[in-house]
Amino acid sequence: MCGIVGYVGQRPAVDVLLRGLRRLEYRGYDSAGVAFFRGSKIEIQKSEGKLENVEKLINQFPESAEARCGIGHTRWATHGKPTTQNAHPHRTGHVVLVHNGIIENYQEIKRDLVHRGHQPVSETDSELFGFLVFEKMESGKSLKTAVAESFREVTGACSVVVMSEKEPGTVVGVRNGSPLVAAVDPKGGVILASDAQPLLEYTREVVFLEHGDLVLGTSSGISFSDLKTGATVSRSTSVLDWSPAALDKQGYDHYMLKEIFEQPSAMVDTLNGLLDRASAESFPLAAQPAVELLNTAERIVIVACGTAWHASLMGKYWLEKWARVPVSVELASEFRYRDPAIDKRTLVIGVSQSGETADTLAVITELRKKGFPTIAVTNTRGSTLAREAQAAVFTNAGPEIGVAATKTFTVQMLTLLCFAAFLGKRRGQSADADEIFSQTLRLPHLLSGYLDVRSPLRQAIRETAKKLLNLRGFFFIGRGYCFPLALEAALKLKEIAYVHAEGYAAGELKHGPIAMIDQDIAVIVLAPNDAWREKTFSNLEEVKARGAQVLGIGNPRDESLRKVSHFWIPLPEMEIHESLIPFVLTPVIQLLSYEFAVLKGTDIDKPRNLAKSVTVE
Ligand code: M6R
């Protein structure tokens, strides 16, 4: 996902920018660039590929070491391919900017700009913002006013940092969704970035901008104002007094929390590895041995354990719907001792974060030896599973330290979604593929907009956990995509909060477990706006009538769900294809179990009796 750094002060700006961008590399990117003042002119150097390419370009400008003001960016392509032309910074006349996030109304803005005689040169939504600022500055407005007024014309969650040759030595940043952090450089000046990492080298005192904040930095100081009203606002400084261990956790109290918040970047890295990002196709799987195996599969068996099994169940919904291929999802520990009726046209996929889970490994090893086509989907390069399977596909979530699987669940789902959509396109069954693909590319941005430690969503989850804490038991129910999520939510709650929880297909409750329902039982109803919502709603009424404490989780505008539920967690507002809703719901159920565990005081990252990698059967 895109990373931003901006600097003005006494230090060599290009050095600050490049060091900062290095610290943001973990977010995933496919092009990069920096812009810096040479006298009163702004020089831009950018390139597709890695930051090294930009460094080589910069090395041709020894005078870049003199620059004291600049902005830098790592881009992960959503609108337009990962080319140098689409890389940031973008220039419009004297205005130069970097942008992180999505401008949702970019098509209308582009149409109006072209109508007014402008010619954008990139395929990005970001460049358009520069035209808006440029026009306003040309009519005599200051950079700050022009940025604020331009922002009022765009919709979508994003941040920008902008400079202009008309105001050398000033950087203006706005946060309206995607995070932006600012700090005063103790040597004089201001540094801005997408997260605190690039700032920590210079100071521990940082300001996390709020949504709708504008920050103006010069070598003599920093000021904040409200984007809408223009009024000056004061923002308190957080002192990131992080020990080396906390620094490793980047300030989060637990690895699990950090890993929940890392899901957007884990998605970016996974998509970068899976897809051919230069292709104009939707869901273009990069050429690799697994693709041929997928293409020829007449039937698919997925084997996995625990959370990976839940991700696989989700994969079945997409694979069957789009690729029209029969899929069975098997618990590896059961499958390995069965005598399953499968033939060599059946592709066997083993899904495992660690790639070392004994049962999953045993199935793949044995079937591969018998000549079945096998694919490993794993987060661990060099793992035994990756070596044993005929082909390996890697989920690039980065190391997951918390025993509870969080970000690896998301990227396992994402990988299976890409398999399903890719096959669906090949087999002519996926009518919405283009739309789903463009939304998939935007998902990490959308999720990072609401996955914020201080977000109202997190507060709502925490407050709800407090109210439910002392109940006797918990049922998570859902239909369709929400069924595997219900299973995963219950597993998370059990493993880290040590409370009894079960996940059920909402329609199954009345076949037995409903007998347990009374006022000491919570039923957590996953009912987003999807094809199954009405049916799930009826199941909610059944348990409510029997006294259950009902927590509804659904669309923020679902008034009837809100009213009928005793407790209510609205999902973040976003227009999204229903097949992608699991990615929005996942962090919510993870955070719910996390908050329970915090209240219970359990050992969240190392829950009792559990191991991260289960290498025994
Ligand atoms: O490494 P794997 O994905 O194969 O691990 C499978 C399960 O052991 C794992 O998902 C386990 O259920 C986690 N503790 C869940 O959080």
Q: Do 155 and 237 fall into the same domain?
A: yes
Does the C-beta of 605 come closer than 6 Å to ligand 1? no
The low-confidence residues of the chain, meaning pLDDT below 50, are none
Domain count, the chain: 3
Ligand 1 centroid vs 349 CA: distance in angstroms? 16
The finding on whether 493 has its CB within 6 A of some atom of ligand 1 is no
Domain identity same for 87 and 151: yes
pLDDT in tens, 310-325: 999 999 999 999 999 9
Residue 101 is inside which H or E element, if any?
A: strand 95-101
pLDDT at residue 246, as a whole number: 57
Same domain? 285 vs 151: no
Does some domain include residue 221?
A: yes
Residue 441 in domain: no
From 251, 266, 290, give the residue that closes a domain: 251
In a domain, 92, yes or no: yes
CA angle 107, 112, 115 (to 5 degrees): 125
Q: Is residue 262 part of a domain?
A: no
Is residue 415 located within the same domain as residue 466?
A: no
Q: Are 502 and 476 in contact (CB under 8 A)?
A: yes
> Which CATH number do you get for residue 306?
3.40.50.10490
Query: What's the gap between Cα 444 and its chain centre?
Result: 3
Q: Are residues 197 and 147 in the same domain?
A: yes
Ligand 1 atom at shortest distance from the alpha carbon of 404: 16
Cα-to-chain-centroid distance, residue 164? 31
- Determine whether the shortest distance from the Cβ of 357 to ligand 1 is under 6 A: yes
> Is 67 close to ligand 1, i.e. is its CB under 6 Å away?
no
Query: Alpha-carbon distance 412 to 385, whole Å?
Result: 15
- Rounded to the nearest whole angstrom, what is the distance from the C-alpha of residue 353 to the centroid of ligand 1? 7
- Residue 457 DSSP SS3: helix
User: What's the CATH code of the domain at 37?
Assistant: 3.60.20.10
How far does Cα 205 stand from its chain's mean position?
A: 26
Q: Do 220 and 90 share a domain, yes or no?
A: yes
Enclosing domain of residue 419: 279-431
Asked if 595 and 497 sit in the same domain, the reply is yes
Measured distance CA(20)–CA(180) in Å, rounded: 13
Same domain, 516 and 583: yes
Cis peptide bond prior to 89, omega within 30° of 0: yes
Q: Is 540 within a domain?
A: yes
Residues 208 and 143 in one domain: yes
* 10, 147: one domain: yes
Clarify whether 612 is annotated catalytic: yes
Instruction: Examine the domain organization and report whether 233 and 86 are in the same domain.
Output: yes
Set 2, 69, 418, 482: catalytic member: 2
Dist CA 327 CA 346 (whole Å)? 9
Does 570 reside within a domain?
Answer: yes
CA 308 to ligand 1 center in whole angstroms:
6
Q: Exposure of 524 by Cβ count < 10 A (0-12 exposed, 13-18 middle, 19+ buried)?
A: buried
Q: For residues 25 and 94, state if they share a domain.
A: yes
Say if 258 falls within a structural domain.
no
Please give the structure tokens belonging to residue 46: 């950018």
- For ligand 1, say whether the CB of 361 is within 6 Å of any of its atoms: no
Q: Following DSSP, what letter does each residue of 300-343 receive, concatenated?
A: EEEEE-HHHHHHHHHHHHHIIIII---EEEEEHHHHTTS-----
Name the residue of 353, 606, 608 to mutate for ligand 1: max ligand atoms within 8 A of Cβ.
353
Task: Please write the tens of the pLDDT for every residue from 235-286.
Answer: 988 877 665 555 577 778 999 999 999 999 899 989 989 998 888 888 899 8
Residue 259 lies in a domain: no
Among the listed residues 81, 535, 600, 612, the single catalytic one is 612
- As a whole number of angstroms, the distance between CA 205 and CA 110 comes to 39
